[in-house]
Each structure stands twice: as structure tokens, then as C-alpha cells.
Amino acid sequence: MTFATLAFSCTKEKKAITCEDKMIEKLGAQVSCSVKRGLERMDLVLAKGNYKEGIIYFMFTVCPSCNTVPPQEGYVCGKDDDIEKITIDDFLNNVSNLTIVKGCGD
């Protein structure tokens, strides 16, 4: 009887869903990877960086030989980890520590 009680009283702990998990769920399908690599590549990846004392997530074009415009908008986790879309003010000077969250594997 004790074994049965122990066996059926155990529950798996659910992994907490993070802000990053929510961003991958919302934006991950937009990631696209070109067949070409090196200087000819043009990938669209989900990235994050530091912005105004917080973390911002955005779609970022990786193209070494392109003259692309930096992202103008991104997403932050607001109250209760709800996703909020915001306008990025001066990306080049205000976003730092860029990291690819979901990309093309290279």
C-alpha cells in the first residue's frame, strides 16, 4: 500500500515557461535560413540584446555583404510576462550584447 501511494503521488515538475520561450513560440516561425553561406548568406534570425535596462527580442537580418537597416521594432516581456511590441530608439547606439536566440545553426 505504501508503494502504491508513493508511486501515484509523484508528479513531474513542469518547466517554467520563460519570456524567451514565449518569444521563440511567437517569432520562431519567422526564422529563415538561406542555402548560401559565407558572404552570400542572408538569414533572418531571432535575436536578443540589452535595451534600456532590460532585454529586447527582435528579428535580425544576418547578411555580411548587405547594407541592411537595423530593426526598428522589437518585443519585451511586460507585466506577467505578456509580450509587448515596442519601437526601438536608435538601435545601433542603444542595443548591446546581441545574442542569437533561434538561428540557422552556424
Lookup: cell for 76: 519585451
Q: In angstroms, what CA-CA distances link 86 with 52, 68, 72?
A: 12, 20, 9
Condensed to tens digits (0 to 9), the pLDDT of residues 43-63 reads 999 999 999 989 999 999 988
Query: pLDDT at position 29, please?
Result: 94
Q: What is this structure's pTM? A: 0.78
* DSSP assignment of 85-99: EEE-SSHHHHEEEEE
pLDDT score recorded for residue 10: 53
pLDDT beneath 50, residues of the chain: 3, 5-6
Q: Which of 72, 73, 98 is nearest to 86 (CA)?
A: 73
d(CA 52, CA 33): 30
